[in-house]
Each structure stands twice: as structure tokens, then as C-alpha cells.
């Protein structure tokens, strides 16, 4: 298998740091053969986030798992599930890595349609599972599938495919922009019916981001961006539920035990953490005060237990992942592999925007909405989707390197 040989090569080259000539040539320009076959920086950053996520999910969930009947009072309930999801995600990622980007491009429309179908199915009463007033899950035996998480990958793939196909008409509003617009409106409508406002924001950002990167007319784009912003504002103002969340974010201390409850506890967790945190496992906020500590508000627990140092590490690792994704995308575009390049940047945009929104929410910079921290928060579909997305990113990188060496993607 290609991947197996890649890994062996990777390990050999890792061990080969003693060979100064090769290392030096790797650092020298892009014309020489790359010293490594995969982007190690990206891998280490992602692995770091995944492992830190695993530890922090355990730490954040231990008290609620131990104290709840629904988890049968097992302290490792969430740890065990997160580890299994991670294993499944890595397994699926290895499989995704095997698939050439050309194949992904072929599959993109079909996957997107499948994603839309799943989004419709999840809305059918009796099939979609409702939790806390949101119908977002499909019950698949022992696990639940969240189609909106998969839709994020599919949206990145489809938007890239669409852009590449319509590259020549990107300047045209009607031909280049409107069809995508219609598709996104459909997906957006389905997501808001669940409702899953967070996924809606992320998927819209991915789709329009890729379109923007693909060269859509700037004036049209700006115009539409303005329209979109107005749309968001209308959406927010028409739903009391979303408006409340906005007010909670503006001043959590106004109604600290009501609407601002969750955010105020998140902020307290940050304040308690100070520079180096209260120590792993020492969080008080996770002891039933901070709701969703192991999912949406995982960063607050990191901030309390590991302090500013921990938060800085997480922000830096995400920035590194996003940065590498864009670099990989740029490399691909330079090699005129536009689809691969746009997919890579789309994935970078996804991880960047979702992590920013989640962390911004945790710190009270953004209104509270249900978005997990990519690669870290507890949640099966999310972790699996993130792992597959990383695998695709690595595939793009690997193909880039193969081409640069004169091989074929």
C-alpha cells in the first residue's frame, strides 16, 4: 500500500536527521525533492490537539460522568467513547487517505447530494433524534450520526468541485454565483430547521470562502456578503431564542443566573486559570457548574486547569493547522491542482472558523451558539469528520510532494 510505504519512508527520514545533506536540501528551496513525504508540522499539531482533547474531555467529563445515572456512574464513560470515536476517526482517515483527490472530485457531487438527503432524513419525525429541542441526530444502532458534521466535509469538497467546474464563469454573477447560492440556501434552510445555527454558519462560510478563493467577482461577493450579514441579523432578530443568546453574550453579568449563566461560568473558569492554571483535574467549574464542559465549553476547562499557557497552546496549534492547510492549498494551486488546493483551503477555513467561533464563544467574544471545538470536543460525528478532513488534507499534501518529485498524483 502506498500509505504504508509512505509511513515507512516517513519513519526512515525521521531517523535520518543525522544525514545533514538531505536535511539541508529539504530546507533549501522548493525545487529540490522534499525531504519528507508528509507535512510533519501539520501532523504533530493535529495529533497534539487530538491527544490534548482526549485528556481534557476526560478531565472535563469525569465529574458529570461519575455523578449521573445516564452514564451508570462510570467516571470513564466519556473518555471511553471519545477514545473509540478517535480510533474510528483515525481508521476512516487512513481509508480516506487512500483515495486520490481526483477520485474525491468525482465523488464530490454525489457525496453532497447524499449529505443533503441525510439532512432531510434527520428532519423526518420519528427518524431524527431530538436532544434539547434540536433534531440533529440519526440513530444508527449504538451510535448517533450527526449529518451536519459530515456536511461540512461534503460542502468543502462540493464547493471546490463546483468552483473548478465553473472557473471560467466565476466572474459572472448569474452563472457563477447564483447556482451555488441556491444550493447553500437549501442546505441552510435544512440546517436551520433542525435547528443548527452553528453548522449553518460554518458551512456557509466554507462554501462562500471557497467560492471567494476560486475567484468569484469581488464586487458581487462583497454585495452578497452584505446581504448575508443582513440576513444573519434578520435571522437573529426574528428568533427570540437566538436573540436571548446574543444578549447573554453582550453582558453575562446582567442576568448571570439566567441567560448569562453558561458564559459567566466560562469566564469565571478563565479567570480562575490565570497564567498556568489550577492544575490538571483541579477545575471547579466542571463540577456541575459549567454546562457542556466536555463539548462546547471544553476550552473553558482547559483555561481553568492549564491557564493562559494552555489556551495559548491550543490557539497556536489551531493557527498552525490552519496555516499549514493554506500552505498545502497554495502548493496545490501552484501545481495547477485547483480542486485539491481549494479543498485544502476549504478545510483550513473550516477548522479555522469553527475553532475561532468556539473559542470566541468561550471567551465571550462571540454570541453563544452550539459549536464544538474541532479535533478536541467530545462528539463522535465531529471527531470522525475532523479526522477524515485531516486525512484529505494530508492526501493533498502527499500528492503535491509526489508531483514535485516528478511522480504522479
SS3 145: strand
Asked if residue 236 lies in contact with residue 243, where contact means CB atoms within 8 angstroms, the answer is yes
Residue 48 within binding range of other proteins, rule CB under 8 A: no
Name the strand (E) or helix (H) holding 140: strand 134-140
C-alpha dihedral (389, 391, 396, 399), degrees to nearest 10: -160
Name the strand (E) or helix (H) holding 174: none
The smaller minimum CB distance to other proteins, of residues 11 and 365, is found at 365
Site for other proteins in 314-373 (CB under 8 A): 315-316, 318-319, 322-323, 326, 329-330, 333, 336, 338, 341-342, 345, 348-349, 352-353, 356, 359-360, 363-365
Calpha distance 172→359 (Å, rounded): 37
Least Å distance, CB 320 to other proteins, is 10
The smaller minimum CB distance to other proteins, of residues 16 and 258, is found at 258
- Work out which of 145, 151, 303, 390 binds other proteins, going by CB under 8 A: 303
Calpha distance 399→333 (Å, rounded): 12
Kindly report the number of other CB atoms within 10 A of residue 136's CB atom: 25
Residue 58 within binding range of other proteins, rule CB under 8 A: no
Site for other proteins in 231-260 (CB under 8 A): 253, 256
Residue 109 within binding range of other proteins, rule CB under 8 A: no
The smaller minimum CB distance to other proteins, of residues 218 and 227, is found at 218
Site for other proteins in 2-31 (CB under 8 A): none
Calpha distance 369→198 (Å, rounded): 6
Binding mask of the shown chain, residues 201 to 220, with x at each position contacting other proteins by CB under 8 A: --------x--xxxx-----
- Going from the C-alpha of 403 to that of each of 30, 39, 237, 393, the distances in angstroms are 12, 15, 51, 16
Kindly report the number of other CB atoms within 10 A of residue 6's CB atom: 18
Residue 308 within binding range of other proteins, rule CB under 8 A: yes
Q: How far is CA 92 from the centre of its chain?
A: 16
Calpha distance 257→99 (Å, rounded): 50
Q: Which segment (7-15, 33-41, 177-185, 310-318) binds other proteins by CB under 8 A?
A: 310-318
Least Å distance, CB 267 to other proteins, is 6
Calpha distance 78→86 (Å, rounded): 12
The smaller minimum CB distance to other proteins, of residues 12 and 257, is found at 257
Of the candidates 42, 43, 60, 46, which has an alpha carbon nearest to the alpha carbon of residue 378?
A: 60
The smaller minimum CB distance to other proteins, of residues 90 and 344, is found at 344
Residue 100's Cβ-count burial label (10 Å; 0-12, 13-18, 19+) is middle
Site for other proteins in 150-189 (CB under 8 A): 167-168
Q: Which three cell numbers stand for residue 40?
A: 510533519
The smaller minimum CB distance to other proteins, of residues 86 and 311, is found at 311
The smaller minimum CB distance to other proteins, of residues 94 and 363, is found at 363
Binding mask of the shown chain, residues 258 to 287, with x at each position contacting other proteins by CB under 8 A: ------xx-xx-xxxxxx--------xx-x
User: Interface residues with other proteins (CB under 8 A)?
Assistant: 63, 67, 69, 73, 100, 102, 167-168, 209, 212-215, 253, 256, 264-265, 267-268, 270-275, 284-285, 287-289, 303, 307-308, 311-312, 315-316, 318-319, 322-323, 326, 329-330, 333, 336, 338, 341-342, 345, 348-349, 352-353, 356, 359-360, 363-365, 408
Amino acid at each position: 500500500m502506498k500509505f504504508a510505504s509512505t509511513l515507512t519512508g516517513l519513519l526512515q527520514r525521521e531517523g535520518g536527521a543525522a544525514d545533514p545533506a538531505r536535511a539541508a536540501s529539504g530546507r533549501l528551496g522548493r525545487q529540490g525533492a522534499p525531504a519528507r513525504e508528509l507535512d510533519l508540522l501539520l501532523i504533530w499539531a493535529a495529533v497534539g490537539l487530538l491527544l490534548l482533547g482526549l485528556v481534557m474531555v476526560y478531565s472535563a467529563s469525569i465529574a458529570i460522568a461519575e455523578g449521573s445515572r445516564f452514564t451508570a456512574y462510570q467516571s470513564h464513560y466519556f473518555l471511553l467513547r471519545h477514545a473509540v470515536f478517535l480510533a474510528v476517526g483515525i481508521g476512516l482517515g487512513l481509508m480516506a487517505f487512500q483515495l486520490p483527490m481526483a477520485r474525491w472530485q468525482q465523488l464530490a457531487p454525489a457525496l453532497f447530494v447524499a449529505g443533503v438527503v441525510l439532512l432531510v432524513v434527520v428532519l423526518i419525525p420519528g427518524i431524527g433524534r431530538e436532544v434539547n429541542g434540536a433534531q440533529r441526530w440519526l440513530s444508527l444502532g449504538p451510535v448517533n450520526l450527526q449529518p451536519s458534521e459530515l456536511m461540512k466535509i461534503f460542502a468543502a469538497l462540493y464547493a471546490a468541485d463546483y468552483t473548478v467546474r465553473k472557473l471560467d464563469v466565476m466572474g459572472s454573477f448569474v452563472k457563477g454565483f447564483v447556482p451555488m447560492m441556491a444550493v447553500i440556501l437549501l442546505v441552510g434552510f435544512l440546517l436551520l430547521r433542525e435547528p443548527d445555527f452553528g453548522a449553518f454558519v460554518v458551512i456557509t462560510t466554507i462554501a462562500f470562502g471557497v467560492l471567494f478563493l476560486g475567484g468569484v467577482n469581488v464586487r458581487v461577493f462583497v454585495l452578497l456578503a452584505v446581504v448575508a450579514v443582513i440576513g444573519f441579523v434578520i435571522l437573529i432578530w426574528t428568533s427570540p431564542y437566538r436573540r436571548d443568546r446574543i444578549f447573554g453574550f453582550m453582558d453575562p453579568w446582567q442576568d448571570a443566573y439566567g441567560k448569562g449563566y453558561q458564559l459567566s461560568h466560562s469566564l469565571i473558569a478563565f479567570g480562575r486559570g490565570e497564567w498556568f492554571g489550577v492544575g490538571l483535574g483541579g477545575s471547579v467549574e466542571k463540577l456541575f457548574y459549567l454546562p457542556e464542559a466536555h463539548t462546547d465549553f471544553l476550552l473553558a476547562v482547559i483555561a481553568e486547569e492549564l491557564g493562559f499557557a494552555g489556551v495559548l497552546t491550543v490557539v497556536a496549534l489551531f493557527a498552525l493547522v490552519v496555516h499549514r492547510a493554506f500552505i498545502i492549498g497554495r502548493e496545490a494551486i501552484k501545481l495547477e491542482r485547483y480542486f485539491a488546493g481549494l479543498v485544502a483551503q476549504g478545510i483550513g477555513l473550516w477548522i479555522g472558523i469553527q475553532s475561532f467561533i468556539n473559542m470566541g464563544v468561550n471567551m465571550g467574544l462571540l454570541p453563544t451558539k452550539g459549536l464544538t471545538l474541532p479535533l478536541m470536543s467530545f462528539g463522535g460525528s465531529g471527531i470522525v469528520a475532523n479526522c477524515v478532513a485531516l486525512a484529505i488534507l494530508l492526501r493533498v499534501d502527499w500528492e503535491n510532494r509526489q508531483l514535485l518529485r516528478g511522480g504522479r498524483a
